[in-house]
Amino acid sequence: MIESMTIAEYAAYQREMGERVVESGGVYWRRVRPFFYRPLVPWQALDPALVKPPRAAVLGGWQCVVNDNHPANSRIAFLVFPEARGYSVDSLDKKRRWEVHTAMKHFEVRAFGHADELKSAYEVYLDFQSRTGYEYRADRVRRESFDAWAESVFRHPKVLVLGAFMAGRIEAVSICQVVEDILIYASFFSRGTALAFHVGSLMLHSARAMAAAAGCIRQVFAGLRKSGRAMSVDDFYLQRGFQVVVEPSYCRLHPVAGLFLRVLSPGRLEQILGTIWEDGTDVPRPAAAAARSVAAEILKS
């Protein structure tokens, strides 16, 4: 059974995962870069005039989604499956349906009930980490750190952990959280050999099918849209029915921080402002001029 977290419960979970989360003005904020913050629930729309950002953001900046009634000077793109209740394997194209049905012949997917089951996936994580060089929480390559992480995940009983098994051996893990009425497909790792049997397609399908069956989940969220060459990573989701949803946002940068980005890292500034996206694709390079214009306005505010 899927259980929904409040934003406060999600904040407690993310803190235990090592994220820097602070509450300010009744809003939970996540530090996404040094001195730069967005709401912990990134799709949360706020009124910029009423925002009280974390104290550290004064030295850097902050950004939040706004609704149509408030001014926007930037935008944020999300990867979303917007109609979770209507999902079924039949909604996939022929190739993706074949992948799911093929994987079902090889794997059994079930929810984990306690930390020891997640701990049993240590070798799977090592295979994944050595293959991808994934840097986030790379301390988990040490057995004691991986076990401590597994214990911390299960201190939050509303977290959904799915495992895929082949002949009784764990081959892949997906971890999801349901925050209010949104399912966050947060992480996935597997053995390299399992990918040949399309375990990734099956695990995503399993989470989406559970969300559809729950009836209380409105959307499935797979993160912010990536940029540049990293955009290809998002193709996995886009090929399986996810959409790029671009929301208007308001960004406030400290003048010094804004000038630093503008001069030394204009690409990062474009990424923050969302000027590199147009319906989920890179805007032609002349859009950099538009980014500089928007940045100039932000620096004046």
Give the pLDDT score at 15: 97
Quick check: 174 and 207 in contact, CB under 8 A? Answer: yes
Written as one string, the DSSP assignment of the chain is ---PBPHHHHHHHHHHTT--EEEETTEEEEEEETTEEEESSTT-B--GGG----GGGGGSEEEEE--TTS--SEEEEEEEES-GGG--GGGS-HHHHHHHHHHHTT-EEEE--SHHHHHTTHHHHHHHHHHH---TTGGGGSHHHHHHHHHHHTTSTT-EEEEEEETTEEEEEEEEEEETTEEEEEEEEE-HHHHTTTHHHHHHHHHHHHHHHHS---EEEEEEPP-GGGGGGGHHHHTTT-EEEEEEEEEEE-HHHHHHHHHH-HHHHHHHHTTTEETTEEPPTTHHHHHHHHHHHHHH-
Instruction: Give tens-digit pLDDT for 53-96.
Output: 999 998 999 999 998 888 899 999 999 999 999 999 999 999 99
Give the pLDDT score at 279: 39
Per-residue pLDDT band at 260 (split at 50, 70, 90) = confident
Quick check: 199 and 190 in contact, CB under 8 A? Answer: yes
Q: Does residue 258 carry a pLDDT above 80?
A: no
Give the pLDDT score at 174: 98
Question: Within a 10 A sphere around the Cβ of 11, how many other Cβ atoms?
Answer: 21
Q: Does residue 45 carry a pLDDT above 60?
A: yes
Q: Does residue 201 carry a pLDDT above 90?
A: yes
Q: Whole-number mean pLDDT of the chain?
A: 89
Interval 35-53 mean pLDDT: 95
Instruction: Give tens-digit pLDDT for 144-162.
Output: 999 999 999 999 999 999 9
Domains of the chain: 7-78+245-300 (no CATH), 81-238 (3.40.630.30)
Q: What is the pTM of this model?
A: 0.88
Interval 96-114 mean pLDDT: 97
Quick check: 253 and 61 in contact, CB under 8 A? Answer: yes
Q: For residues 276 and 244, which has the higher predicted lDDT (pLDDT)?
A: 244
Q: For residues 130 and 272, which has the higher predicted lDDT (pLDDT)?
A: 130
Per-residue pLDDT band at 261 (split at 50, 70, 90) = confident
Give the pLDDT score at 52: 95
Q: Does residue 1 carry a pLDDT above 80?
A: no
Residues of the chain with pLDDT > 90, as a percent, come to 74
Give the pLDDT score at 213: 95
Q: How distant, in Å, are the alpha carbons of 11, 49, 92, 226, 246 from that of 66?
A: 21, 11, 32, 20, 11
Q: For residues 226 and 65, which has the higher predicted lDDT (pLDDT)?
A: 65
Give the pLDDT score at 262: 75
From 97, 115, 48, 83, select the one nearest 253 (Cα to Cα): 48
